[in-house]
Structure 1
Amino acid sequence: MNIQFERVDVSLKKQVIDHMRDAIIDGSFAPGQKLVERELCELFDVSRSLMREALQKLEAEALITIVPHRGPAVAEITLEEARAIYAVRQALEALAGAGCAQHATESDIAALEASLERIAACQGNDDQKALVKAKNDFYRVLLKACGNPIVQEMLTGLNNRITSLRRFSMGQPGRLAHTVKELEAVIDAIRSRDAARASKLCADHVSKAATIALRVMADQQS
């Protein structure tokens, strides 16, 4: 049997996808911005076929939209979509917090503390990429340790859109200091094996972030 298939450089495609994803999440590619394939190919020095595969992957992650006859553009999250995302995130993170209090190992708790230290270290500087990475690391540990693979799968799938929304809340003066205190309390509840308190603290943390982000989004759209 002779099977014909296209050989592609997977690592190169992944690099393109990762860099484009980062550029969308950190706002380098602005919401609503039209993405011209030819310009992207020149920017990343890749073929059009590879770029189209990368765009399809980012469309599947809801980070871009591809409109027939108009081409790709960076996805815009509406106020109603943001409300829905935060509602789902709040419910799932409450479950994750409770599960983590029940299932986390001492190693998991130590990893949460180390991630929180990196989050706290971002206070007083403008390194948003370091902050995003530290927060993603924190939640990666929380989800892995929660003992619920469905919660982990669903929140991981939402993560890119959640990270995009964090720009609205984390950029507000003083918010990071409050975030550190809120996550410290979450870790304390997990360490104490208090599932109910961990659940409530996770839900409260998301609620506070949502209130700020939705207010900023509403002000920008008014």
Structure 2
Amino acid sequence: MDARDAAGRLAEQMRDDLTRGVFMPRERLVESELVQRYSCARAAVREALVLLSADGLVERLPNRGAHVRGLTVEEAIEIAEVRLALESLCSSYAALRATEEDRVALSRHVRAMADAVASDSPHRYRSESVEFHECLMRISRHESMTRELRSIRRHNLQRHFPAAFEAGSFSDSLNDHVTIADAILARDGVRAHELMTEHLGRIIAMLTAYRSTLGQRLPLE
């Protein structure tokens, strides 16, 4: 494996870790620490950070190194809106194209999410939720949509704005995922599209409500 391949593999691993919330927004990405974390060469780390910077996931500032790029709440709402459009379509395709093996895999992810809620494991629930949505993308078998959707899902909105998501609950989120899965298992693409739109619409509503509280905190002129 040459240096370019190593950097590409490392960048992909870090993208996955960003999706799963391993790194915090605006967290400094120290090269020596990344070398240890990923057991790779420093040259691969530097090249991977360049690739992640091109993706808009990392910022590299002169004399200040690299850090995870922070989002404004406006950017977060826009990302959620794009995700709603794409992932609702993804769900409808999944309902139409799921094989029996796909259906078994989707059911397994739903059970894992339910187990996480029952055991009061928020971190595990978030991880299983990521896997659920990854499963939908695979089942959809729509390469162009999946490529764009994976790109915007790299921004973990809950990590960026945890206060915005306090109004939600894991039990409500689980119920959304269960009903979406049920529609896909029933091969009802229209219903799956509607349910995913409602699910992600709630995220947009929470971010919008959070934005309004920020406005209330501004000093009066």
Bin for the TM-score computed over the shorter chain: 0.7 to 0.9
Coordinate RMSD, CA, aligned: 3.3
Q: For residue 29 of structure 2, give the secondary structure of its aligned residue in structure 1.
A: coil
CA distance in 2, matches of 1:192, 1:52: 47
Match of residue 90, structure 1, among 70, 84, 94: 84
Match of residue 186, structure 2, among 166, 184, 192: 192
Segments of structure 2 that go 5 or more residues without pairing to the other structure are none
Q: For residue 122 of structure 1, give the secondary structure of its aligned residue in structure 2.
A: helix
1:193: Cα distance to partner? Answer: 2.1
Contact 1:169 1:210 in 2 (8 A): no
1:63 paired with 2:91, answer no
Q: For residue 193 of structure 1, give the secondary structure of its aligned residue in structure 2.
A: coil
Deviations 1:158-184 (A, max 9, x none): 2211xx113438963761111111111
Q: For residue 146 of structure 2, give the secondary structure of its aligned residue in structure 1.
A: helix
Contact 1:61 1:160 in 2 (8 A): no
For this pair of structures, how many residues does the alignment match? 213
Match of residue 165, structure 1, among 150, 153, 157: 157
Partner of 1:3: none
Contact 1:170 1:176 in 2 (8 A): no
Segments of structure 1 that go 5 or more residues without pairing to the other structure are 1-5
1:125 paired with 2:117, answer no
* Identity between Structure 1 and Structure 2 (%): 26
1:84: Cα distance to partner? Answer: 0.8
Match of residue 50, structure 1, among 44, 49, 53: 44
Q: For residue 113 of structure 1, give the secondary structure of its aligned residue in structure 2.
A: helix
Evaluate the alpha carbon distance shift between residue 133 and residue 147 of structure 1 in structure 2; reply closer, same or farther with a 3 A threshold: same
Evaluate the alpha carbon distance shift between residue 187 and residue 40 of structure 1 in structure 2; reply closer, same or farther with a 3 A threshold: closer
Deviations 1:19-73 (A, max 9, x none): 6863x55656432234344555566675432220221233234321113454312
TM-score (norm 2): 0.78
TM-score (norm 1): 0.78
Evaluate the alpha carbon distance shift between residue 68 and residue 100 of structure 1 in structure 2; reply closer, same or farther with a 3 A threshold: same
What one-letter code is carried by the residue in structure 2 that aligns with 1:191?
Answer: L
CA distance in 2, matches of 1:19, 1:147: 24
